[in-house]
Amino acid sequence: MTNLIIRGGTVVNHDHSHPADVLIDGETIVAIGTAIDAPTGAQTIDAGGCYVMPGGIDPHTHLEMPFMGTVTADDFEWGTKAALAGGTTMVVDFCLPDPGQSMLAAYQDWRRKSEKAASDYGFHMAVTSWSKQVFDEMEIVVKTYGINTFKHFMAYKGALMVNDDELYNSFARCAHLGAMPLVHAENGDVVARMQEALLGRGVTGPEGHAYSRPPEVEGEATNRAIMIADMTGAPLYVVHTSCREAHEAIARARAGGKRVYGEPLIQHLLLDAGEYQNKSWNHAAQRVMSPPFRDKSHQDSLWAGLQSGSLQVVATDHCAFTTDQKRLGVGDFRKIPNGTGGLEDRMPLLWTAGVTTGRLTKEEFVAVTSSNIARILNVYPRKGRIAVGSDADVVVWDPSASKTISAKKQMSRIDYNVFEGFSCTGGPAVTLSRGKIAWKDGELRAEKGDGKYVERPPFSPV
């Protein structure tokens, strides 16, 4: 077993910071303190002037995912390498059964694809239809596969979308199994009709994508999912909360004592709908995702949610398509593959726009990038905390590091970056993944296959 000691930094957890050294034995943190005797031969990492934080967790990625007739360009290898380069040590990906495919088979497919992962990872399982088989398999997914979260799409009509009756059934099943339902919240019926109307009026470009799914359709669906979860007694996690309307639905529910969580993406915190007006079709199409970027006025609401605790997690929905893939949608915005990247950039961007501006404390930064989602996913404090006994997923964060984001230098396999040219202050000097140095001095040391699958136990059933 190798020993490793991080000296001279300030340990930052979601609820407290203090100067301390951190001693790692193998994959685990074994001591935290101010005068630790390191075992002979222990490797030392100098964290002077740095923060020693739990590695980031990104609970929303789509690696090597078949979607809209193509496959996302970043697989588990390159997606997780991007993650590690940006301080993120665990991702949670969405396991999507094909139409008619059993969840069990889908799980096997995803496990196979994920063997390449360089960082730790877990899965959410998608419920894309309802049947006795689905009902039965959910129990196996929870109890045998260690998956305690089920994803539901309220949009993508004719493909992944489920209706209210199906949501009710699945949420009730989640409540029974001690699992947490997740929703992609947009009203798919309305989106489909508005897409039709726009195309009927001759709007075919990427801007039509944004017009066809305004904040109102997300706010409505969020409000609806919350009600249905409440009726079944299940908690609810709303992925990619992008707008004031959706945030307010969540905040209202929480103010009524309901257990509802919201996840803004780093994209929605920083980018706005003006991108879709770019004269370059490619530029605009590269930014097509659902929900689309919003008017700038929504960003204040999301930031305030992170500050006040009505939103809990910042994710990426990393779902990378190359420009070539995006061009499948020339002439019909409905065919542009939905998705953008962000795994490598989430933490530096959030630090820059959140912490250096005074919006978030460094403890809150840890909360929304790591600890909160670890708690929500029931893997805390194994993940999400610098504590004795925790996995040694650690990022040594240098607040004075600076970097300009550029597709040319990124891990991701795609040919552009939606944050191209953004300047970041603060970034990972070192990333440790279960005690192994995965990233240091601007160089990736993690290797394909270093990652492990993380099982997550269910909550107490309701």
Residue 228 binds: one of Zn ion, a copy of itself, none (C-beta under 5 to 8 A by kind): a copy of itself
Segment near a copy of itself (CB under 8 A), from 64-72, 80-88, 375-383, 429-437? Answer: 375-383
Tokens of 58: 């990104």
Q: Residues 339, 62: contact at Cβ < 8 Å? A: yes
For a copy of itself, the closer CB: 33 or 66: 33
- Residue 308, number of CB atoms within 10 A of its CB: 10
Shortest CB 448 distance to a copy of itself, Å: 33
By the rule CB under 8 A, 194 interacts with a copy of itself: yes
- 227 three-state secondary structure: helix
Please choose which of Zn ion, a copy of itself, none residue 279 contacts, taking the beta carbon within 5 to 8 angstroms, the exact cut-off set by kind: none
HSE, CB side, 13 Å, CA atoms: give it for residue 164: 12
Q: Is 159 in the site for a copy of itself (CB under 8 A)?
A: no
Count of beta carbons in the 10 Å neighbourhood of residue 408: 8
For residues 397 and 49, give the distance between their C-alpha atoms in angstroms, rounded to a whole number.
9
Residues 378-407 close enough to bind a copy of itself by CB under 8 A: 380-381, 385, 388-389
| The residue to which tokens 């029931």 are assigned | 378
β-sheet bridge partners, residue 125: 95, 150
283, 335, 359, 445: residue in contact with a copy of itself (rule CB under 8 A): 359
Q: What residue spans of 370-434 are helical by DSSP H?
A: 372-376
Q: Closest Cα to residue 220, out of 228, 231, 210, 209?
A: 228
Smallest separation, CB 252 to a copy of itself (Å): 8
**DSSP secondary structure letter of residue 105:** H
Cβ closest to a copy of itself, residue 151 vs residue 254: 254
Helix (H) or strand (E) holding 252: helix 244-255
- With CB under 5 to 8 Å by kind, the binding choice for 184 among a copy of itself, Zn ion, none is Zn ion
Q: Does 297 bind a copy of itself (CB under 8 A)?
A: yes
The correct pick among 21, 64, 207, 220 for binding a copy of itself (CB under 8 A) is 220
Please give the Cα distance from 424 to 418 (Å, whole number): 14
Contact predicate 180/174, CB 8 Å:
yes
DSSP 327-383: GGGTT-GGGSPP-B--TTTHHHHHIIIIITTTSS-HHHHHIIIIIHHHHHTT-TTTS
163 binds, among a copy of itself, Zn ion, none (CB under 5 to 8 A by kind): a copy of itself
Residues between 224 and 283 with contacts to a copy of itself, criterion CB under 8 A: 224, 227-228, 230-231, 251, 254-257, 259
Q: With contacts defined by CB under 8 A, name the span among 145-153, 163-171, 277-285, 442-450 that binds a copy of itself.
A: 163-171
Q: At what angle do helices 215-232 and 164-177 cross, to 10 degrees?
A: 50
Site for a copy of itself in 13-52 (CB under 8 A): 14-16, 33
Q: Tokens at residue 246, please?
A: 């959706």
Nearer to Zn ion, 224 or 448 (CB): 224
Residues engaged in binding a copy of itself (CB under 8 A):
14-16, 33, 163-165, 168-169, 172, 187, 189-190, 192-194, 214, 216-217, 219-220, 223-224, 227-228, 230-231, 251, 254-257, 259, 297, 300, 303-305, 307-310, 359, 371, 375, 380-381, 385, 388-389
